[in-house]
């Protein structure tokens, strides 16, 4: 059976996020290790270990989900949905609770409204892809066709 469009969209999303995560995590690791060498206190080491463990777990889950969807594993849809929802949570958190300066500055209220509207459309499309992946008959048939009867 051919892969439905929603499966291709999920594979593309997961692969793009994997490619995005590799340089970001390597930069974070290098810069944090430099800070750790300069200031080795217990609290900093504890939080570094905690964040490193969290990042490795998320990266492993997303890679495993990508491979599972490619190979039609038994729990591929569940793990892919968990990965996609964690990606959405990551982007929502980074957009709402970041302390870094914004990349774009807006001159008036119309530009700000346009940015908010663009973000809402982006989230709506993302959720539409996820819901289509979860509830479509094509997706269910694709993953059930790959399973062997017990």
pTM: 0.81
pLDDT at 149 over 80: no
Q: What is residue 109's DSSP assignment? A: H
> Alpha-carbon distance 80 to 133, whole Å?
9
pLDDT at 150 over 70: no
> What percent of the chain is modeled with pLDDT above 70?
95
pLDDT averaged over every residue in the chain: 87
Q: Which two tokens stand for residue 3?
A: 């892969």
The pLDDT of residue 148 is: 56
């Amino acid at each position: 059976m051919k892969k439905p469009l929603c499966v291709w969209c999920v594979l593309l999303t997961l692969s793009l996020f994997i490619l995005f995560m590799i340089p970001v995590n390597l930069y974070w690791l290098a810069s944090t290790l430099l800070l750790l060498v300069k200031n080795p206190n217990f609290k900093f080491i504890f939080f570094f270990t905690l964040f490193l463990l969290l990042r490795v777990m998320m990266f492993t889950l997303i890679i495993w989900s990508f491979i599972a969807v490619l190979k039609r594993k038994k729990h591929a849809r569940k793990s892919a949905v968990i990965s996609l929802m964690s990606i959405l949570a990551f982007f929502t958190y980074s957009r709402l609770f970041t302390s870094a300066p914004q990349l774009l500055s807006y001159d008036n209220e119309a530009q700000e409204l346009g940015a908010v509207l663009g973000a809402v459309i982006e989230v709506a499309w993302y959720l539409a892809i996820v819901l289509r992946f979860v509830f479509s008959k094509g997706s269910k048939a694709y993953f059930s066709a790959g399973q062997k009867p017990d």
